[in-house]
Structure 1
Amino acid sequence: MAAGAPRIFVSHLSGVAVFDPNGDHVGRVRDLVVMLRTQEPRAERTADGVRLETLARRPPRVLGLVVELATRRRIFLPITRITGIESGQVITTGVLNVQRFQQRPAERLVFGELLDRRVRLVETGEEVTVLDLSVQRLPARRDWEIDRVFVRRGRSGTFRRHKGETLTVEWSAVTGFTLEEQGQGAENLLATFEQLRPADLANVLHHLSPKRRAEVAAALDDDRLADVLEELPEDDQIEILGKLKDERAADVLEAMDPDDAADLLGELPQEDVERLLDLMRPSEAADMRRLMAYEERTAGGLMTTDPVVLRPDATVADALARVRNPDISPALAAQVYVCRPPEETPTGKYLGTVHFQRLLRDPPFSLVGSLLDDDLQALDPETALPAVAGFFAAYDMVAAPVVDEGGALLGAVTVDDVLDHLLPEDWRETDFQFSGEVADGGRP
């Protein structure tokens, strides 16, 4: 960006695409790395000529960007490798170091650590909340600094009716960024990442400090937190759940897919499991206990107890209305299971499956009982994982019914759960294989 260009507020950089000089997509901005510089003496003179020594608050220097590649690896992009920030995109010199980003002790992450902080105005001592910060390139140099802070008077809070006046001040007009803060909010951080898919937001949380991770989790609503927990590594799941109050932890577990919630409960001490199950609705707790009774790497341990179940006299229109629900995953929405009453798992006698494509081909008034694919054998709950994977591969399935020896539908296994258990246990913490050729570039 040329000298003298308008300043850029960092919230506008969240998720911005990064391109090399040839226009090839490199990744997306996930954070900014800055260094809070120490105060330095500054000489001033009063009106009567007396020379005073004061401390100048130097604006933080922007070291670079944290960029997430298509492989989900996060790398450090030095600010000196950026040739332009314009029209919602970042242009680099094309030289990248794909070593995974590791935050150094003296560095601060703008999104992860500075947003939502409570600081004070130097002039009045009034407490304010940081909503945003702006960066600007220094004249005739390649260095960038945080120059201004957008703040709100009063304490931060999602449910405050009057959130107070907002104002933009110079960096030197506020103090307190270096202090350790307990109970830091997360409202503005979450607004920055509002459009992220659960898997991507989980990746953001995984790279935050444990303190900040707990604060962000506390600020998420139950459904959003449940979706994110399902995408986190096991250690992060246990850590976050352990910092929630028991009542909320039970609510979040209920909002998770039953199979994922059962897997998480299976990693907790038995006394914690029983305490949480006692706080859940009886029907939800019964599903959890049923799933936890199966070995993890079997069809019963992999299945969800919430597939789309219809009676044989339901119509195609009824089926399409059910699978249209955005809360149902694409894999579960790929087919409906036709059973005798009751429709809650375990159901009455399982009759067969109707695939989504068949629903699109037949008139809305057709009965699903007349469209059954009843040739495909259902899975037994004790079927081992390798056999389940072979079943999916052989029949090109994205979901499959699990039926007990009495013919009742117990649930359905989806392909994403099969993949979760076939991949290495730490796959969420590692990157997809990266095959691009890039040049080396060091940290400043």
Structure 2
Amino acid sequence: MAGGAPRIFVSHLAGIAVFDPNGDQVGRVRDVVAMLRVGRRPPRVLGLVVELSTRRRIFLPMTRVTGIESGQVITTGVLNVRRFEQRPTERLVLGEMLDRRVRLVESGEEVTVLDVSVQQLPARRDWEIDRVFVRKGKGGTFRRKGEALTVDWSAVDGFSLEEHGQGAENLLATFEQLRPADLANVLHHLSPKRRAEVAAALTNERLADVLEELPEDDQIEILGKLKEERAADVLEEMDPDDAADLLGELPEDDKERLLTLMQPGEAADVRRLMAYEDRTAGGLMTTEPIVLRPDATVADALARVRNPDLSPALAAQVYVCRPPDETPTGKYLGTIHFQRLLRDPPYTMVSSILDDDLQALSPSALLPEIAGFFATYDMVAAPVVDESGSLLGAVTVDDVLDHMLPDDWREQEFHLAGDVNHGD
């Protein structure tokens, strides 16, 4: 890509596929690495942070990029698969430059960075950040008023300064289509300051989903930087079992204060789960499975299963119980698997198609027994029933896997072994 190479805005690079010369996809772009230079010289683009299919993040030098076009990056095919580690002299363009407040050199006016563009230098393999897309006035979203303009890098000042209160709207817009686990990976690799700013910009529901996918240390750090009222709101949006696990890691005073701020019903579910020992069915279960009364129909059951907020494991089956139909319920009668619901007419009463032969789990059942139950009966979820016959909740296979893996498995997933030297 020589002298006439087009200008590329980095927001358009976020998430695009990276291919080797044979056309095989090797990963996706998650950020751009640049190095600031003395004076007003444009920053040099060192390379791309590429996330492999294993979710390992590696560094791809720009010298190994042969083309960026049609929504894809083509490489020479030679990759160093050791994990990426940011150096003190480097900046992550998406993670650290977007949403910054900088000043126009000529007028001194403060503007917000919406995007930056990169371009390959003529007759060379080097790349630079050459232009900055900014908006005048306060705020960083495209929906807010204020003139937007593109200026040369040398026309702005302030990128080298540590910024307090940096926004996160444009960074979030860049990654809005990411699954919670992938956005958690983005947050994990940001600086603590930037991580707090992004977390503050997320909605309560989105932040709750992301927290459930983060290592324990990151969860505690982010929750600790939220105002207590908001922290309680986020905990309410989390699955009760995940909220109980997180609260269990906090000092007793902090835990009680947050539980007091939560809605009484939500707090009661979490307190109930915290009463059980770790790595038991009671400690692993969620208190919000799909519960139906015996006179409900298959149509009623399918309507509940269609709820997009349910995980695939919880939507795989429904539990039929006598009133009350919130946990702890009246007498548990049996389970109906999703496939059975698809085979029977919509008007069929659920009480007539129950699977009542399968033994439910006791809340005191230990992890090896739970894992054996799932393996023996090919289950993705299992009911937890107390001695009186009431349904307390359901254990899902993802929670079993979470607790069978090493305690730091999320950390290992984000930080796979090995150091990287990503200089040219």
Aligned-pair distance for 1:429? 1.6
1: CA distance between counterparts of 2:347 and 2:172? Answer: 44
Aligned-pair distance for 1:430? 1.8
Which residue does the alignment assign to 1:327? 309
- Residues 101-131 of structure 1 deviation map (CA, whole Å, 9 limit, x = unaligned): 0000100000110000000000100000000
> Any gaps of 5 or more consecutive residues in structure 1?
40-56, 435-439
- Residues 224-255 of structure 1 deviation map (CA, whole Å, 9 limit, x = unaligned): 00000000000000000000011000000000
In the alignment, structure 1 residue 312 sits paired with structure 2 residue 294:
yes
Aligned-pair distance for 1:208? 0.4
- Paired-residue identity, %: 83
Aligned-pair distance for 1:443? 2.5
TM-score by length of 1: 0.93
In the alignment, structure 1 residue 91 sits paired with structure 2 residue 74:
yes
Aligned residues: 421
In the alignment, structure 1 residue 5 sits paired with structure 2 residue 14:
no
In the alignment, structure 1 residue 359 sits paired with structure 2 residue 366:
no
In the alignment, structure 1 residue 268 sits paired with structure 2 residue 254:
no
- Residues 275-300 of structure 1 deviation map (CA, whole Å, 9 limit, x = unaligned): 01111111111111100000110000
Aligned-pair distance for 1:5? 2.3
SS at match of 2:209: helix
Which residue does the alignment assign to 2:137? 154
SS at match of 1:327: coil
Which residue does the alignment assign to 1:250? 232
Which residue does the alignment assign to 1:42? none
**1:257-406 to 2 correspondence within 5 Å?**
257-406=239-388
Contact 2:113 2:140 in 1 (8 A): no
In the alignment, structure 1 residue 144 sits paired with structure 2 residue 144:
no
Aligned-pair distance for 1:162? 4.3
Which residue does the alignment assign to 1:66? 49
2: CA distance between counterparts of 1:59 and 1:432? Answer: 31
C-alpha distance 417-336 of structure 1, shift in aligned 2 (>3 A): same
1: CA distance between counterparts of 2:5 and 2:77? Answer: 23
1: CA distance between counterparts of 2:67 and 2:154? Answer: 27
Which residue does the alignment assign to 2:177? 195
2: CA distance between counterparts of 1:209 and 1:326? Answer: 33
Aligned-pair distance for 1:73? 0.6
Equivalent residue letter for 2:384: V
Which residue does the alignment assign to 1:133? 116
- Residues 311-355 of structure 1 deviation map (CA, whole Å, 9 limit, x = unaligned): 010011111110101001110000000000001100000000000
Which residue does the alignment assign to 2:92? 109
C-alpha distance 81-157 of structure 1, shift in aligned 2 (>3 A): closer
Aligned-pair distance for 1:2? 3.6
**Which structure 1 residue ranges, 4+ long, deviate > 3 Å from structure 2?**
431-434
In the alignment, structure 1 residue 177 sits paired with structure 2 residue 177:
no
Contact 1:96 1:441 in 2 (8 A): no
Aligned-pair distance for 1:364? 0.5
SS at match of 2:399: helix
C-alpha distance 432-370 of structure 1, shift in aligned 2 (>3 A): farther
1: CA distance between counterparts of 2:224 and 2:191? Answer: 16
1: CA distance between counterparts of 2:375 and 2:145? Answer: 55
Match of 2:210 among 209, 225, 228: 228
Contact 1:227 1:256 in 2 (8 A): yes
Aligned-pair distance for 1:432? 9.0
2: CA distance between counterparts of 1:137 and 1:348? Answer: 68
